[in-house]
Amino acid sequence: MDATVSKRWLLARLYEPEQTIVDCRFTLGKPDAGRKSYEQEHIPGAIYLDLELDLSSPLGEHGGRHPLPDPEVLAARLAKLGIGNDSRVVAYDDENGMNAARLWWLLRYLGHEQVYILEGGFSAWKAEKFPVTDHQPVRVPSTFVPKVQVQMLAGVDEVRRISEQTIDAALHASSTAADSALALPILIDSRANDRYQGMNETLDKTAGHIPGAVNFFWKETQNADGSVKNSEQLTEHFAGLDKHREIIVYCGSGVTACPNVLALEKAGYKNVKLYAGSWSDWISYEQNPVATGEE
């Protein structure tokens, strides 16, 4: 099954007991806006998970602006809200799926495969005049035992090594260096191109990108209505990326990279990792180099 579901698919299964719908609406810079929107109206049966309070750890010196939550802490939170290992989870937001994709990635990181994203989000659901409510459901706690998939995650040391090797291979124009470069993982920066080039940075203290990274803006994986492009369109979008090489995806804080991970997997890329701390973690280490412009 695809990682996304249509509005009509969800409507037909709205009250199935094994399903949990999760409202992930959140606005950067307005931390209460998402919850207030949920309290005003949401899809019937939906619970709310906050990007910063539930789907991230508290800020520290490193780890980026949205550090990954501790797996055991997140699992306990999910269980308290009635999400168990056998639950089917459908997530939505109103931010082109970026927060819903964060939950999608986190659940899969915890070993939970039955998680999907609602195409178009809440506004599209409401525009179809599908049901909404302000009633907050009472949830019966469940049991969620995490089985952490460590292979889905890349850390700063790994990214630093790949960056250094990629730049070194580019500086040595020999057949040996070229062969070495082709064996290296590919670093993908998911931010808008002006942020990637270091021309316009409004969220982080330093502008630019990780040396050696290439740019694929996450919103370009979507259609005008916010749905994810089909596999053929995504294959064309990511043309030139070797499907046999490992790919490590990052963004500003590890959130908007998640839709790119989803899109890459839909396009047939099998070995995709997330650098969860992303750019905001990278620049928290003074020794890490910064690149600007196009690679």
Q: Out of 98, 251, 261, 267, which one is annotated catalytic?
A: 251
What is residue 220's DSSP assignment?
A: G
Assess whether 258 carries a catalytic annotation.
no
Amino acid in position 293: G
Amino acid in position 68: L
Report the catalytic residues: 251
